[in-house]
Amino acid sequence: MPLVTISLPESFSLHEQRAIADGVHDAVVCVGFPLTDRFQKILPLSKDALLYDPVHPDLEAPRSERFVLIEIVISRGRTTAFKKDFLTRIVDNLRQNPGIDPRDVMILFMETERENWAFAGGLQYYVETQK
């Protein structure tokens, strides 16, 4: 299960925020997670609360004020090819709708062991269903 946090400038409209969330979720489903596996946080932030370098590490053109930071927590064990496919799908989706330039999209995968997931009731789903 991916847990997705989307941090973005508060200047994005609610419609654009939903389009971003939908684009990320479409990528989640396309790489093999269930359609019902949607857990997302959208964090609209002021200019003072979302700080980023316009060209790091070596962009040819600077990022715009439409910078979006996407953090995805997933279970450990996904291949580099899987992650590349996931990244490409997200960036392509956001380019199409709501029209975000790929240089304005930063994505970070954070991996955790499966026993760290408790979906409800404090039950470690991946551990307890494997018994």
pLDDT, tens only, 39-83: 999 999 999 999 999 999 999 999 999 999 999 999 999 999 999
Contact 38, 103 (CB under 8 A): no
Domain 3-128 has CATH 3.30.429.10: yes
Q: What count of Cα atoms within 13 Å lies in the side-chain half-sphere of residue 70?
A: 29
pLDDT, tens only, 81-124: 999 999 999 999 999 999 999 999 999 999 998 788 777 888 78
For residue 17, pLDDT over 80 is answered with: yes
The model's pTM is: 0.92
The two three-digit tokens of residue 129, written as one number? 């269903």
